Amino acid sequence: MMIKHVVHTTQYDDNKTFEYIEYPELDFETSKAKLIHSRYAKVIKSEKKIIYEDGSEFVLPISESVEVLPDQTGFMVIYGKEPSGLSKEKKYPWFFDQPSNGAIYNADGSLRRQIKSPWKDGYIFSFAQSSMKYPNLPSVILDHEDNPYDSSFYDLYAVDINTGVLLKTGQQIRR
């Protein structure tokens, strides 16, 4: 199964709804309008739907952001300190606590791997652009107190999608 794109639908308390393709390319104008609207209205429903190459669909039971893997055979999720209040599922396999608060799922929504953080006092902060060292792997930003360089930077790690192991890239991103 190959992922064609991810559709994100957000409904607000004033009955306005935004639907846009989140992957592979975010529509800037829709994203901007949604951001402006969210300052004035409260989100009451958020739904993400995976659309496959064959036209079939899978509605994700979570509202967290997803990152489609480069080979389109799955997706990654990074979870916050608590499950999103808008998610339908809030426990394993659809939620992982910090510090290893990320997961890799197959295209059909089955769990492939938990992403393991090397730090006990930190967590996976967000998705990032691919690193120079591992350009074909997805990347994440880690936040931890034991940063050996400078606290004004985040460390960039590549994600081995087959093992869930985070690979040091030697790159940092300014906070």
Q: How confident is the model at residue 22 (pLDDT cuts 50, 70, 90)?
A: confident
User: Which residues contact residue 35 at a Cβ distance below 8 angstroms, ignoring those fewer than 6 apart?
Assistant: none
Peptide bond into 61 cis (omega under 30): no
User: Which residues contact residue 20 at a Cβ distance below 8 angstroms, ignoring those fewer than 6 apart?
Assistant: 7, 8, 26, 27, 30, 31, 34
Tokens describing residue 118: 């090397």
3-state secondary structure of 53: coil
Q: Each residue of 144-167: pLDDT tens digit? A: 765 555 567 788 999 999 999 999
pLDDT for the residue numbered 151: 66
d(CA 141, CA 126): 5
pLDDT average, residue stretch 70-97: 94
pLDDT average, residue stretch 91-117: 95
pLDDT for the residue numbered 101: 94
pLDDT for the residue numbered 2: 95
pLDDT for the residue numbered 147: 54
- pTM recorded for the entire structure: 0.87
Peptide bond into 99 cis (omega under 30): yes
